[in-house]
Structure formats: C-alpha cells, structure tokens
C-alpha cells in the first residue's frame, strides 16, 4: 500500500507539472581561496561533479562568492580573474579547463586562403570527479591514496537505471557476485569472498545509500538506480571509516537530492525482448517540487516486470523465473538558513520472484526438474534523516537510518526423502523467513586547512536484529522447527587525518576503536530457549602515503585493516534432541543426563572473529599532450585470519563456522584513452591468486584450495562514441566486452563445483537532446548460455547438476524524458 501511494503521488505530480524554465539555483558561500579548495567547496555546496584538468598546483586565488546563483553564474564569479574556464555538460557535471593562450598576430600582408571546415562542437568527456564523498573528507579523486571508482548509472545512456547495483559492479573486473536472483545476491570485491550461501554471517561489503547503511548481514537489496547521481566504490578493507563488515570495501550510492530552485521531472520507459524467454518492461517517474524558498520534495516511483527464461520439465511449465519489482524513493529537504540543511528520506522496494533461475545439466538448455515452485520475496524499507551544517572549512554530518528487510525463500526439499526410504515420495518444502531490522547512526565532523590538510572524526552506533525462522514439511503446511534471533550492537569512535609531509608527499593516518556485543536466542517449537552473548573490542588502523611527482600523477601506498565480530552457530539437530528429551531447557536436560556435555559442546558452535590486513601500492597518471590517456595500476596482498563462512552440509542445512586462514594476491590495471574528441576506449584487468591455509578439516578436504566465487582472471573492455549530429542532437554508441574467469562454488569437499570462464558482450546506442533520450541496448550479444553460478537449491546442489545460465540475448529499447 505504501508503494502504491508513493507511486500514485509521483505520477500525478509529474502529470500536472509544467516545464521548468528557470535553471536551478544554489546557496553558495565561498571565501577567496586557492582554486583547488574553492572548487572543492563549490562541489560540496552544489552537489555538482567537477572534472577535467588538475588544478592542485594553481596558486592564484579565486574571487569570493556569496549569494544564490545558478550553476553558470556561480562558476563565472568563482573563476573570474583566473586562467580557468568551464563547460556545463549537464546539471550534474561540469568540465574545468585552461583558457586558450592568446597569441599576438604577426603583421603580414593579407592573402586569400580557403577557410578550413569548422569542427562540430563535441561534448568533452569528464575524466575525473573532483570530490570522493565516500572518503568522508571530501578528498579529491586525484589525491585519494587508494583504489576508488566513480560510476554514473546513466553515463552511457542505457538501460542501467532499471537495474540494481550488480549492473554497476560488473563494470569492475575485480568484482564478483553470486547469481541466485534479484535481492538475493552477495557481492564481493578484491577477491574477498567468504561463501556462496546466504546465511546470518555479516557481509564482506559496507553498502550505503547516501549516509544510510543498507545491509549488515543480508544480501544486496538490489535497489533500482533511477535518479542516481553516481556510485562510489572504495576497494580494499575500509575498517577505519566504515567499521565491521567492510573487509572487501565500501559501496556508496548517491541519489539526487531535492532542489529548492525549480519544478521539474523525468520519466523512463523501456521494453525488452529475451531470446527463448518472456518480454520485460519497466516504467519510472520522478518529480522535484519546491514548496517554498527553504523546502523541497523529490519523489520517485517505478514498476518493473522481468520475464522468465527457465523451463521446468517435471511440472511442464515455461519461463518460470519471472520477477515483479515495485519501488520508490522520496526525500524532503529543508534549508532553514545559515548553511544548515535537514533531509528526511525513504526508500521502499518489493521483489517477488516466482521461481528459481537455475537449470540442470542433463536437461535441454535452460531447463530443470523440480517438484514444487521455489519463489523468493523481499520487502525492503529504509528511512533516514541527515542533519548537515557547513562552515567555511568545516562540515558537520549527523545521519540516522532505519532499515527493515523481510525475506522469504522456499526450496524444494524433496531430496531429503532419499535419506529415509520409509517415507512416501511426497514433495517437501523448506521455508526460510528472515526479519532484519538495522538501526545505524553516525555523527562526524570534517575539515580542511591550508596546504590541502584534511581530517574527519566521528562516532558510530549500530543495532542489528536478525530473526531466522525455518520450517520443513508439506508445501501447504510446513512445520516450524527453528526460530533464531541474533542481535549485534556496535559502538565506535573513529578519525582520519591527511597532512602534507612535503610539497609533493601527503601522509594519512587513522584509527577506529569499536566495541561489539553479539547475542543469540533460539526458541524451539517445544519452548526450549538458548540465550548466549559475546563481546569484542577491536582497533582498526589506516596508514597511507601519496606522492605527486607532477600534476598528472599520483603514486600511493596504503595499509588498512578490517574485521567482523564472532558469534554462535547452533546445530538444529542438537536443539531437536533437547526438545524431544522432555526437558524444559538445556540446563535441565544436561543436569538430568538426558543429553551429555559432549552433545552440548557439539551442538553449539562458537565461531571466532575474522580479520584482514591489506597492503596496497598503486599509481594513477595522465599521459599525453592533452591528458588523452588515464592509466592506473595497483598491486595488493591480503592476509585473512579465521575466515567466517556460511557452510551448507551434505543434507542442505546451513551453519556459520571458521574455515581457516587465507592469503590473497592481486593486480589491477585500467586504461582510458580518448583517441579523438568523440571516441574513448577503456580497458580494465584483474589478476588474482588466493589460497586457504590452516584449513579446518571439518569443512575442507585439504589446504591449498581457492576462495569461492573469485576468478583468477577478469577483464573488461569497451568504447564510447559521442558525436553531435546537429546543434541540438548527439548520437552515442557504446559497447562492453567482459571476461569472467573460472571459479568454484565452495571450498568444502562437497562443493568443488566449477563456474565462470565465459565472455559476454553488449552494444548500445542512443539519440540525445537536451530534454529527451531514445536508446537501444543489446546484452549477451552472442547468446552465451555459460554457467555463471553453480547453485540454485542447497538440497540438491551435491548432485553437481545445477547451473545458473546468464540471461539469454536481450534487446531493450526505451526513452527518458525531462520535463
């Protein structure tokens, strides 16, 4: 109901809105200062990405700017008297460049010559974003001593906005993901992958929408990326700034904010045709509405239907794995004055997947056999409030978020009957219901001083509850046999300082001190309760050096630490034994010798905290007369101790355990080459080698195995052509080729199943004007049916027949209109 009301209000507002003639205006207050610091503050105050040349070495001061201006007016006043100019790409992006030098014409006798053909105006690509907000210090990309990627979902004007964060992550060869389906996938970065299975262990990535943490120990919520400004991805452990659960990095999605200066809106529509599958469609609408000079609201609503392409031969059904997605976001921004702002936001999304998207070997392509449907449902809601204040060189952010996520997963558990031949061959269903409630708060103060010194300090609080209820039995009436409630509370203080050591070298130091308490409570159907708790205190440091030998290059080295707290894993068979003993609780069962101490020790598994230490060195540089080439490379080594993983046993039931230690070596390289003003080509490469050491023999066959889901090799290549066809129109053509190397599903002796080792290709084109865009995309151009993931049902995965093919060749056409 909430989603319907939000979507109706959004669509109604869009229908009655009128085109906004006025350009958006911003409250700007920047004193006279160096160019780089002035542009940094301008980007913060307007939310506009500034890119182009590096202005760090500029010594001239800018003019002071105070007042309410359009983007063009503000930049003109700011850069007055400097040798810099600008070009506005769109209302979110500006390119900064040097003014052409004036040349004195030599006096000569005029002669008649043929005038050369005028070059058509070309939209110059923005090659860097000035401010990386995920650093929490407003660090410029050129100065950030680590691996960071900034991606705009609509950069290539394609169907990316109708997809989730997976579509963005796939642009990085150092990323990997499971492929259970929308709202169910785990995402991994930098070779840091713990398990292919969804359990209660904490994520290896910190995922944020603005300043709100979206997930603590759940899969990616897979929010659609409509009206999203950019996605910032910090690779490698981020324990100092993001705390527990950021072993592989942090992903921050930055949505567009309400604009108090103008009334406008946007609409999206697209339809897709999939080979050997059903068609798909998506609709979305956004409206930005000022209420008065201090208050504005921005609302987005969307609906989406993704057609299925998997058949079930046993039930004689076709295209069973279709999805239905509904969602929206709404933000209310209040600016009471004196550089204060208060923003209240909500993001809602429901996903209903009718059946699993896996197939089986031995059947015809895209086909499997199952006794019952295996649907998935997700109800996600995130609410947040952020209070911000900006002084000249000081910024305050206080953000509080509440996330509720309800997940329902059903598996066909009929295979369990093979272990008890006396039971009739009747379909069985296994249901998992998870209720996750996450409260997060962070208050931080950041500042910048002379000579590019910057710092951030703050406090962080997290309270996460995860209730997992399991049922097994007949599909119409499965019997509940487990109800586990886990709660994690975390309190931390953190700080980070970047300070110039010389004119070309900047050092960064930081630390986070975090206290964590974990409680678990298990109530069986007979009333047997188990209540245990653990506490942990950790220190998470950061050390980094950045050397700028010239204005074009940055060479850096970095050490960072990350961790996840430990907890308890409970053997369901053990609890059932206690329940059937007739005792009222575990203590009575032990004292009455109805169960033994050995049973108690074996039934409650304590898994230890895991931690990771990473050392990284890298370089980013611009090459060529006009910086046509941007190259980057990094090498890293990670030592992962006491790896936590969600393990599935031979029967299909899961538990969390420490599986051993691990070492990870990796190399990443990237290249962006602007061959002509219209053509840019890109290439990225990732080489990875991981090994499990000190293996727990209970779970691993032997040492030396690789971590799951991480391919040894990954690569991406593509091109982007932007060519004007008139003063008002331009054509865009883009492509991407991706290679995913071979990996394995798990590291236990039951799941050494191979996956990956495939190539996908995509091609797209668009015709864009200032107010509308028409686009067409083709994904999986060669209609590959390669196996991306060897899991669909944990109860039958050991038969080694499961494969998850990527979506077949799909053609999408759509448009976006701005009003």
Q: Classify residue 707 by its DSSP letter.
A: P
pLDDT of 444 above 70:
yes
Q: Are strands 730-744 and 311-312 parallel, antiparallel or unpaired?
A: unpaired
C-alpha to C-alpha distance for 735 and 720, rounded to whole angstroms: 7
pLDDT(75) > 60: yes
What percentage of the chain exceeds 90 in pLDDT? 51
> Quick one: pLDDT at residue 14?
41
> Quick one: pLDDT at residue 87?
74
Binned at pLDDT 50, 70 and 90, residue 16 comes out as: very low
Q: Could you tell me the strand order of the sheet in which 787-789 lies?
A: 359-360, 802-805, 787-789
* Mean pLDDT value across the chain: 83
The mean pLDDT of 623-642, rounded to a whole number, is: 90
pLDDT at site 420: 58
pLDDT at 320 over 70: yes
The Cα–Cα gap between 382 and 574 comes to 36
Residue pLDDT, tens place only, 779-813: 999 999 999 999 999 999 888 789 999 999 999 99
Residue-level pLDDT at 575: 47
Instruction: Say yes or no to pLDDT of 504 above 50.
Output: yes
- Checking if the pLDDT of 4 tops 80, the result is no
Which residue from 335, 226, 365 is spatially nearest to 283, judged by alpha carbons?
226
User: Is residue 440's pLDDT more than 60?
Assistant: yes
Please say if the pLDDT value at position 274 is more than 90: yes
Highest mean pLDDT among 114-128, 367-381, 508-522: 367-381
Share of the chain above pLDDT 70, in %: 82
Task: Look at residue 52 in the predicted model and tell me its pLDDT.
Answer: 59
Query: Could you tell me which residue, 810 or 533, shows the higher pLDDT?
Result: 810
Q: What is the pLDDT of residues 242-253, one digit of tens each?
A: 998 899 999 999
Taking 90 as the threshold, does the pLDDT of residue 562 lie above it?
yes
Residues 370 and 793: beta-carbon distance below 8 Å: yes
Query: What pLDDT does residue 56 have?
Result: 46
For the chain, the first-to-last Cα distance in angstroms comes to 28
Average pLDDT over residues 400-408: 97
300 band by pLDDT with thresholds 50, 70 and 90:
very high
What is the number of other CB atoms lying within 10 angstroms of the CB of residue 592?
11
Taking 60 as the threshold, does the pLDDT of residue 117 lie above it?
A: no
pLDDT (0 to 100) of residue 658: 86
Q: What is the mean pLDDT of residues 603-627?
A: 85
**pLDDT by residue (tens digit) across 645-666?**
888 777 777 778 888 899 999 9
Across 20-47, average pLDDT: 71
Helices 71-78 and 35-46, packing angle to 10 deg: 160
Place of tokens 């003993």: 581
- At 397 the pLDDT is 96
433 vs 351: CA distance, rounded Å: 15
Is 138 in a helix, a strand, or coil? coil
Averaging pLDDT over each range in 294-303, 444-453, 472-481, which range is the top one?
Answer: 294-303
Which has more confidence, 29 or 112?
Answer: 29
Residues in the chain: 819
Question: With bands split at pLDDT 50, 70 and 90, how would you rate the model's confidence at 15?
Answer: very low
How confident is residue 221, by pLDDT bands cut at 50, 70 and 90? very high
Residue range 723-751, pLDDT digits in tens: 888 888 899 999 999 999 999 888 766 56
For the cut 60, the answer to whether the pLDDT of residue 122 exceeds it is: no
Residues 84-92, mean pLDDT to the nearest whole number:
71
Q: Which of 70-84, 573-587, 622-636, 741-755 has the highest mean pLDDT?
A: 622-636
Structure tokens at 445: 């103060």
**Pairing between strand 93-98 and 49-52?**
parallel
pLDDT band for position 3 (cuts 50, 70, 90): very low
Q: Three-state DSSP class for 46?
A: helix
pLDDT at res. 461: 97
| pTM confidence score | 0.83
**Residue 289 contacts residue 17 (beta carbons within 8 Å):** yes
Q: Is the pLDDT of residue 541 over 90?
A: yes
> Of 157 and 579, which is predicted with more confidence?
157
DSSP 291-319: EETTEEEEEEEEEEEE----EETTTTBSS
Q: Give the pLDDT of residue 7.
A: 47
In the prediction, which pLDDT does 153 show? 80
SS3 22: coil
Average pLDDT of the residues in 98-120? 45
Mean pLDDT of 163-184: 89
Confidence bin at 109 (pLDDT 50/70/90): very low
What is the rounded distance in angstroms from the CA atom of residue 787 to the CA atom of residue 325? 25
Domains and CATH numbers, the chain: 209-566+608-818 (2.40.170.20)
- CA nearest 589: which of 568, 570, 575, 606? 575
803 vs 136: which has the higher pLDDT: 803
> At 602, is the pLDDT very low, low, confident or very high (cuts 50, 70, 90)?
very low
Q: Who has greater pLDDT, 751 or 720?
A: 720
Is residue 5 helix, strand or coil?
Answer: helix
Q: CA 460, CA 255: separation in Å to the nearest integer? A: 22
Tell me the pLDDT tens digit for each residue of 687-705: 999 988 887 766 565 556 7
């Amino acid at each position: 109901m909430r989603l319907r009301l939000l979507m109706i209000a959004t669509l109604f507002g869009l229908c009655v809105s009128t085109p906004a003639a006025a350009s958006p205006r911003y409250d700007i207050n920047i004193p006279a200062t160096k160019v780089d610091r002035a542009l940094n503050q301008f980007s913060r105050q307007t939310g506009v990405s500034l890119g182009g040349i590096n202005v760090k070495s500029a010594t001239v001061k800018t003019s002071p700017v105070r007042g309410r201006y359009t983007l063009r007016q503000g930049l003109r006043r700011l850069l007055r008297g400097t040798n810099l100019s600008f070009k506005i790409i769109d209302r979110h992006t500006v390119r900064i460049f040097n003014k052409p030098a004036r040349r004195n014409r030599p006096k000569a006798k005029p002669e008649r010559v043929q005038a050369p053909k005028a070059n058509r105006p070309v939209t110059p690509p923005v090659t860097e974003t000035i401010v990386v907000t995920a650093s929490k210090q407003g660090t410029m990309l050129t100065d950030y001593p680590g691996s960071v990627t900034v991606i705009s979902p609509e950069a290539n004007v394609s169907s990316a906005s109708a997809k989730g964060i997976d579509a963005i992550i796939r642009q990085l060869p150092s990323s990997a993901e499971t492929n259970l389906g929308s709202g169910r996938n785990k995402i991994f970065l930098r070779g840091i992958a713990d398990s292919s299975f969804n359990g209660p262990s904490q994520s290896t990535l910190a995922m944020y929408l603005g300043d709100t943490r979206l997930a603590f120990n759940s899969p990616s919520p897979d929010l659609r990326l409509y009206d999203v400004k950019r996605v910032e991805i910090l690779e490698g452990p981020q324990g100092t700034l993001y705390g527990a659960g950021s072993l592989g990095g942090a992903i921050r999605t930055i949505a567009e904010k309400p604009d108090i200066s103008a009334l406008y809106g946007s609409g999206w529509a697209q339809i897709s045709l999939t080979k050997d599958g059903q068609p798909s469609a998506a609709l979305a609408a956004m409206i930005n509405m000022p209420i008065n000079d201090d208050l504005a609201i921005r609302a987005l609503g969307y609906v989406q239907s993704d057609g299925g392409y998997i058949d079930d031969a046993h039930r004689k059904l076709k295209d069973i794995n279709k999805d239905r997605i509904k969602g929206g976001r709404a933000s209310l921004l209040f600016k009471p004055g004196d550089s204060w702002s208060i923003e209240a936001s909500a993001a809602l999304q429901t996903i209903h997947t009718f059946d699993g998207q896996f197939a089986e070997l031995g059947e015809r392509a895209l086909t499997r056999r199952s006794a019952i449907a295996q649907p998935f449902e997700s109800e996600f809601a995130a609410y947040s409030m952020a209070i911000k204040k900006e002084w000249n060189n000081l910024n305050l952010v206080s953000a509080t978020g509440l996330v509720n996520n309800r997940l329902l997963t059903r598996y066909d558990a009929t295979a369990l009957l093979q272990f008890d031949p006396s039971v009739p061959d009747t379909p069985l269903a296994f249901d998992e219901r998870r209720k996750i409630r996450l409260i997060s708060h962070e208050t931080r103060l950041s500042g910048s001083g002379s000579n590019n010194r910057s710092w951030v300090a703050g406090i962080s609080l997290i309270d996460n509850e995860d209730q997992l209820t399991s049922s097994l039995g007949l599909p119409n009436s499965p019997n509940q046999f487990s109800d586990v409630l886990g709660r994690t509370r975390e309190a931390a203080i953190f700080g980070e300082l970047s300070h110039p050591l010389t004119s070309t070298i900047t050092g960064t130091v930081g630390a986070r001190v975090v206290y964590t308490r974990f409680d678990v409570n298990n109530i069986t159907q007979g009333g047997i309760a188990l209540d245990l708790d653990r506490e942990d205190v950790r220190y998470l440091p950061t050390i980094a050096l950045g050397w700028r030998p010239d204005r074009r290059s940055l060479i850096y080295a970095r050490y960072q630490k990350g961790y996840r707290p430990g907890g308890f894993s409970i053997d369901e068979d053990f609890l059932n034994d206690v329940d059937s003993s007739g005792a009222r609780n575990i203590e009575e069962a032990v004292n009455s010798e109805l169960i033994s101490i050995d049973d108690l020790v074996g039934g409650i598994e304590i898994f230890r905290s895991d931690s990771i230490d990473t050392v990284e060195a890298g370089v980013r540089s611009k090459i060529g007369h006009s910086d046509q080439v941007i190259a980057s490379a990094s090498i890293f080594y990670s030592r992962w101790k006491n790896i936590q993983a969600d393990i599935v046993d031979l029967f299909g039931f899961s538990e969390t355990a420490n599986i051993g230690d691990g070492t990870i070596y990796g190399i990443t390289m990237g290249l962006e080459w602007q061959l002509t003003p219209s053509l840019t080509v890109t290439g990225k490469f990732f080489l990875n080698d991981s090994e499990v050491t000190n293996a727990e023999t209970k779970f691993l066959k032997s040492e030396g195995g690789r971590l799951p889901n991480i391919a040894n090799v990954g690569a991406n290549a593509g091109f982007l052509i932007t060519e004007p066809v008139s003063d008002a129109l331009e054509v865009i053509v883009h492509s991407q080729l991706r290679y995913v190397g071979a990996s394995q599903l798990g590291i236990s002796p039951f799941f050494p199943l191979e996956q990956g080792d495939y190539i996908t290709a995509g091609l797209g084109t668009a015709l864009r004007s200032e107010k509308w865009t028409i686009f067409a995309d083709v994904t999986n151009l060669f209609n590959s049916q390669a196996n991306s993931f060897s899991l669909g049902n944990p109860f039958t995965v050991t038969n080694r027949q499961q494969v998850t093919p990527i979506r077949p060749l799909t053609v999408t056409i759509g448009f976006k209109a701005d009003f």
